[in-house]
Structure 1
Amino acid sequence: MARMFRVLGFWTLAIGLMAFAGDMIEMALLFFFQTAVFVLLGYLNFSEKTYILMFWSYMIISFLGFTYWTFFEMGLPF
């Protein structure tokens, strides 16, 4: 399970680099931060249950943040 967090770190790094190349600096910084957190968690050797609870909490926080941003911060299209 710890290896999966390193894989998540790799993919968030790839997305961050693409965002940086596309001049989306804020998005790139967000994904670079996530990369650092995922790689760090990947080397801490927690139990599998702890990794699953951390992943679920990450998903809940990210989905709530995405929903808030799209509903309240992005303007209406018309």
Structure 2
Amino acid sequence: MARMFRVLGVLTLAIGLMAFAGGLIEMALLFFFQTAFFILLGYLNLSERSYILTFWGYMIVAFLGFTYYSVFVMEMPY
């Protein structure tokens, strides 16, 4: 299970690098922070239950953040 978080770290690093190359600095920084979080979590050697609960917590925070941003922050095109 720990390897999966390292794989997520590599994938978020790739997305962050592509965002940085495209000039999306805020998005790139967000994905670089996620990369550091996933890589650090991958080397903690927690139990499988801890990894699953951490991932669920991450997904809830990510979905709530995305929903808040898309509803209250983004301007709606008319």
TM-score w.r.t. the length of structure 2 is: 0.99
Deviation sequence 1:6-31 (CA, Å, 0-9, x none): 00000000000000000000000000
Q: CA RMSD in A?
A: 0.3
How far apart are 1:76 and its partner, in Å?
1.2
User: SS at 2:76's partner residue?
Assistant: coil
| Residue equivalent to 2:43 | 43
Could you list the runs of 4 or more consecutive aligned residues of structure 1 that deviate by over 4 angstroms after TM superposition?
A: none
1:57 equivalent to 2:57? Answer yes
How many aligned residue pairs are there?
78
Counterparts of 1:26-41 in structure 2, within 5 Å, are: 26-41=26-41
For structure 2, list consecutive stretches of 5 or more residues without a partner in the other structure: none
* Amino acid of the structure 1 residue aligned with 2:57: S
1:11 equivalent to 2:11? Answer yes
Q: Distance in 2 between matches of 1:32 and 1:71?
A: 25
1:76 equivalent to 2:70? Answer no
Identity %: 74
For structure 1, list consecutive stretches of 5 or more residues without a partner in the other structure: none
Q: Distance in 2 between matches of 1:25 and 1:76?
A: 22
* Amino acid of the structure 2 residue aligned with 1:54: T
Deviation sequence 1:16-61 (CA, Å, 0-9, x none): 0000000000000000000001000000000000000000000000
